Amino acid sequence: MNFARRALVGSALAGTALIGGALGASLLGSAGAQTNTTATSTEASSAAPAAGPGRGPHTANGITETELTGDDASKAIAAAQAAVPGATVERAETDAEGAAYEVHMTKSDGSQVTVKLDNSFNVTETVNGRG
């Protein structure tokens, strides 16, 4: 094989390797992006206290619950603690099932309770369990 032919074949092989590598990196990058999205969702839900399977904000009736922050969280938590003294707050969030807000708590005996509140942070209902 002469030098020119070797150079041409070598260049073709190198080009094929580069294209294959770029395609592989692209596919792996897409898979990594999907994996990172899942990891981000898991991290977000685990950031909420006591989050786990079946716990945490969800969507119902076309409404997605969101975690309360700032004054809204403080007011909702204070009202819930007054309604269920001694209970530990797991999370406070908007409610997708009728109330404006809800606070999920664990009583000192280990049982779960959800306190529902209106827009003025008045307790409207206390539901035993994960209501």
29 vs 58: CA distance, rounded Å: 29
At 15 the pLDDT is: 54
> 112: which strand partners?
106
0.85 exceeded by pTM: no
Tokens describing residue 98: 């009728």
- Regarding whether 92 and 33 lie in a shared domain, the answer is no
88 vs 91: CA distance, rounded Å: 9
- Regarding whether 122 and 73 lie in a shared domain, the answer is yes
- Regarding whether 67 and 94 lie in a shared domain, the answer is yes
- Regarding whether 121 and 64 lie in a shared domain, the answer is yes
- Regarding whether 13 and 67 lie in a shared domain, the answer is no
- Regarding whether 63 and 43 lie in a shared domain, the answer is no
At 42 the pLDDT is: 34
CATH code for the domain in which residue 77 is found: 3.30.505.20
**Tens-digit pLDDT profile for residues 73-108:** 999 999 999 999 999 999 999 988 889 999 999 999
Residue 10 resides in a domain: yes
- Regarding whether 63 and 42 lie in a shared domain, the answer is no
Please count the structural domains in the chain: 2
Q: Is residue 65 within 8 Å of 58, Cβ to Cβ?
A: yes
Residue 22 resides in a domain: yes
What range defines the domain where residue 12 resides? 1-47
Residue 2 resides in a domain: yes
**Tens-digit pLDDT profile for residues 19-62:** 555 545 554 454 444 444 433 333 333 333 444 334 556 666 66
Nearest CA-CA partner of 107 in 126, 124, 86: 86
Beta strand pairing status for 88-94 and 59-60? unpaired
- Regarding whether 65 and 31 lie in a shared domain, the answer is no
